[in-house]
């Protein structure tokens, strides 16, 4: 079978401006690749009927599949439906069922439906409506014999993701023969990129350079292994590669799930062990508690936290002694130790994470420069405190501090775990 050729067309004048890059295509490419579909071109055009029509007319002759994203909203410049209809010489029809769905959605959220929303119920003659429960405009699929199939997707990433799962993947599955290219991801926290590269050097030789790739971001690395072929052969090859990589990298691997986050890994361990955690934050200002609670179901292990920006609140809410604050300053291992112990005691949890540091851009001194952060953990014994020197701007320093803090707890939980075989980070 010849490989299917696809094109991605993003519609949106804002994507032609100086501030924003189209990025939905990365998601689409990932899925298409899995089904052995080649993406041969990507393009961005403005919210202009003529431009959409022109572009699509050319694509319809050149590729087998066109994925159009964006321009399905209710405003005057949402003209994707019209542009596509023109390219295939069809009309737009108001879909009664879709109109009902729209009305119901607005009623549910007690919002008045403006007249402009009516256009979101317009469907290209002959197209199939693709339900989009996450948004107001549905997707559409137009298949004309002898021409490329055309999917119309919303540009909102969350909605696009949903439609990829419910509509695009099943469609692709029907049209491919079971051979897939599959990628597995190991997520690694708080290891430098060059350190990691050194650790996995043997894997490059063993599996081939192109089977392994490394993608680094702040405080986080993704190691990806790829294998092609039919289900079983592919799975066993991926299995042996990831096993070997885990051996080489060690327990810095916190998950083997592509979309897992460090806070999910921590949450999984806390749930498994039946323990609870609280936080006491200064420079991270609530970022750690926000990350912990971003995980659905976190209320079973996260009790609460305090953000103590002022020294007064460090004393009153956490019981940090005035002398300790005066002698060592708020950014010190001593104060972070007290913050952790104080939070554990007054918020009554098994573990307490504490952070204090200088996130910048102001507030640094020669002895306590911007990027100096202490992260602390109070558990059973004395609190453990780590000193960090973090590069980058305020956002990056805060983010890295939250990574190290969560990883401190993750490692402590791993050590206390009697059944490592079932730990998410090692599964």
Minimum CB separation from a second copy for residue 312, in Å?
8
Which one, 40 or 231, has the nearer CB to a second copy? 40
Which one, 75 or 236, has the nearer CB to a second copy? 75
Answer whether 165's CB lies under 8 Å from 174's CB: no
How is the beta sheet containing 277-281 ordered, strand by strand? 277-281, 351-357, 372-378, 384-389
Secondary structure letter of residue 132 according to DSSP = -
Minimum CB separation from a second copy for residue 276, in Å?
9
Q: How many residues does the chain have?
A: 427
State the Cα–Cα distance between residues 8 and 171, nearest whole angstrom.
16
C-alpha dist (Å) from residue 135 to 8, 71, 182: 21, 13, 30
Which one, 147 or 426, has the nearer CB to a second copy? 147
Answer whether 175's CB lies under 8 Å from 144's CB: no
Minimum CB separation from a second copy for residue 122, in Å?
16
Minimum CB separation from a second copy for residue 248, in Å?
16
Give the count of beta carbons closer than 10 Å to the beta carbon of residue 247: 12
Secondary structure letter of residue 419 according to DSSP = -
Give the count of beta carbons closer than 10 Å to the beta carbon of residue 188: 26
Minimum CB separation from a second copy for residue 45, in Å?
5
User: Which is it for the CA torsion 323, 328, 329, 332, positive or negative?
Assistant: negative
C-alpha dist (Å) from residue 131 to 8, 123, 136, 138: 21, 12, 9, 5
Minimum CB separation from a second copy for residue 126, in Å?
27
- To which H or E segment does residue 413 belong? helix 394-416
Contacts of residue 117, defined as CB under 8 A and 6 or more positions apart, other chains included, come to 74, 102, 106, 136
Which one, 263 or 423, has the nearer CB to a second copy? 263
Minimum CB separation from a second copy for residue 166, in Å?
15
Answer whether 186's CB lies under 8 Å from 253's CB: yes
Which one, 45 or 241, has the nearer CB to a second copy? 45
For the CA atoms of 268, 269, 272, 275, the dihedral, rounded to the nearest 10 degrees, stands at -110
Minimum CB separation from a second copy for residue 389, in Å?
5
- SS3 for 326? helix
Which one, 80 or 127, has the nearer CB to a second copy? 80
Which one, 127 or 180, has the nearer CB to a second copy? 180
Minimum CB separation from a second copy for residue 344, in Å?
13
Which one, 391 or 420, has the nearer CB to a second copy? 391
Minimum CB separation from a second copy for residue 54, in Å?
7
User: Which is it for the CA torsion 285, 288, 289, 294, positive or negative?
Assistant: positive
Give the count of beta carbons closer than 10 Å to the beta carbon of residue 152: 27
Which one, 23 or 91, has the nearer CB to a second copy? 23
Which one, 180 or 423, has the nearer CB to a second copy? 180
Answer whether 156's CB lies under 8 Å from 164's CB: no
């Amino acid at each position: 079978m010849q490989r299917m050729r696809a094109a991605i067309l993003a519609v949106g004048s804002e994507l032609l401006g100086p501030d924003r890059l189209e990025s939905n295509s990365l998601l689409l490419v990932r899925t298409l690749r899995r089904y052995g579909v080649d993406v041969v071109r990507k393009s961005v055009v403005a919210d202009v009927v003529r431009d959409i029509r022109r572009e699509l007319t050319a694509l319809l002759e050149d590729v087998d599949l066109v994925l159009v994203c964006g321009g399905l909203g209710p405003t005057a410049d949402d003209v994707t439906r019209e542009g596509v209809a023109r390219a295939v010489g069809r009309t737009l029809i108001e879909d009664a069922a879709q109109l009902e769905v729209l009305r119901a959605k607005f009623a549910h959220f007690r919002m008045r439906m403006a007249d402009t929303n009516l256009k979101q119920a317009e469907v290209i003659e002959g197209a199939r409506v693709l339900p989009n429960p996450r948004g107001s405009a549905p997707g559409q699929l137009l298949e004309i014999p002898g021409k490329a199939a055309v999917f119309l997707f919303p540009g909102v990433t969350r909605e696009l993701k949903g439609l990829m799962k419910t509509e695009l993947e099943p469609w692709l599955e029907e049209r491919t023969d079971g051979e897939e290219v599959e990628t597995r991801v190991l997520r690694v926290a708080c290891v430098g990129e060059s350190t990691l590269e050194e650790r996995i050097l043997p894997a490059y030789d063993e599996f081939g350079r192109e089977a392994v790739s490394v993608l680094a971001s702040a405080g986080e690395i993704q190691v990806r292994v790829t294998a092609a072929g039919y289900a079983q052969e592919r799975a066993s090859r991926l299995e042996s590669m990831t096993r070997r990589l885990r051996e080489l990298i060690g327990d810095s691997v916190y998950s083997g799930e592509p979309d897992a986050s460090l806070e999910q890994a921590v949450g999984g361990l806390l749930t498994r062990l039946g323990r609870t955690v609280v936080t006491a934050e200064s420079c991270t200002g609530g970022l750690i508690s926000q990350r912990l609670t971003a995980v659905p179901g976190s209320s079973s292990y996260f009790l609460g936290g305090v953000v103590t920006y002022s020294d007064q609140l460090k004393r009153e809410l956490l019981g940090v002694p005035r002398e300790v604050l005066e002698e060592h300053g708020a950014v010190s291992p001593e104060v972070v130790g007290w913050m952790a112990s104080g939070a554990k005691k007054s918020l009554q949890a098994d573990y307490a994470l504490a952070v204090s540091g200088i996130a910048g851009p102001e507030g640094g001194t020669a002895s306590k420069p911007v990027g100096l952060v202490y992260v602390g953990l109070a558990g059973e014994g004395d609190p453990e405190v780590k000193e960090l020197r973090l590069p980058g701007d305020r956002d990056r320093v805060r983010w890295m501090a939250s990574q190290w803090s969560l990883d401190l707890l993750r490692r402590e939980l791993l050590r206390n775990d009697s059944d490592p075989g079932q730990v998410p980070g090692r599964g």
